[in-house]
């Protein structure tokens, strides 16, 4: 029986290898939806990232991910926040309640964020044309403090 970790890591593996295996991804999606309440924030963001990386939009899966992520948002680490935002942005799907939850939670812990998380989150909100002044102000302030840590990839994103 696949756990949340097994489901997330299997999806991550196929996405990392850019393998579009429709039967497998469909099965992973169905099983993830069934077990979504037991997913950790990290595994929620990993499964979202994997499906987005493969450009697979499954409304039921992503609605379930968003709902659970909102409930667990204060448990999310910076990478989970950034990956959730990136996943929805990559698929060009605005989930306003999720974006607001990410914003509120991110602002409270923004000093812990690394350049990659700052730039990916800024890119995600910009791609979705979701203007969140307080979050963007917090990202800008942290970017100024950490600008020397930004790699060329972070600046390009």
Residue with tokens 């990290």, as numbered in its chain: 42
Four-CA torsion 95, 28, 14, 122, nearest 10 degrees: 10
Q: Which is it for the CA torsion 31, 64, 53, 50, positive or negative?
A: negative
What are the pLDDT tens digits along the chain (157 aa)?
899 999 999 999 999 999 999 999 999 999 999 999 999 999 999 999 999 999 999 999 999 999 999 999 999 999 999 999 999 999 999 999 999 999 999 999 999 999 999 999 999 999 999 999 999 999 999 999 998 877 665 555 5
């Amino acid at each position: 029986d696949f756990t949340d970790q097994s489901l997330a890591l299997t999806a991550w593996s196929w996405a990392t290898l850019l393998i579009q295996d429709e039967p497998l991804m469909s099965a992973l999606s169905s099983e993830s939806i069934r077990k979504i309440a037991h997913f950790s924030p990290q595994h929620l963001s990993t499964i979202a990232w994997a499906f987005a990386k493969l450009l697979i939009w499954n409304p039921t899966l992503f609605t379930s991910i968003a709902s659970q992520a909102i409930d667990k948002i204060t448990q999310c680490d910076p990478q989970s926040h950034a990956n959730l935002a990136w996943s929805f942005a990559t698929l060009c799907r605005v989930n306003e309640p999720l974006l607001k939850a990410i914003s509120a939670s991110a602002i409270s812990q923004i000093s812990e964020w690394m350049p990659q998380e700052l730039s990916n989150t800024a890119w995600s909100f910009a791609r979705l044309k979701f203007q969140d002044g307080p979050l963007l102000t917090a990202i800008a302030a942290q970017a100024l403090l950490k600008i020397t840590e930004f790699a060329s990839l972070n600046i390009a994103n």
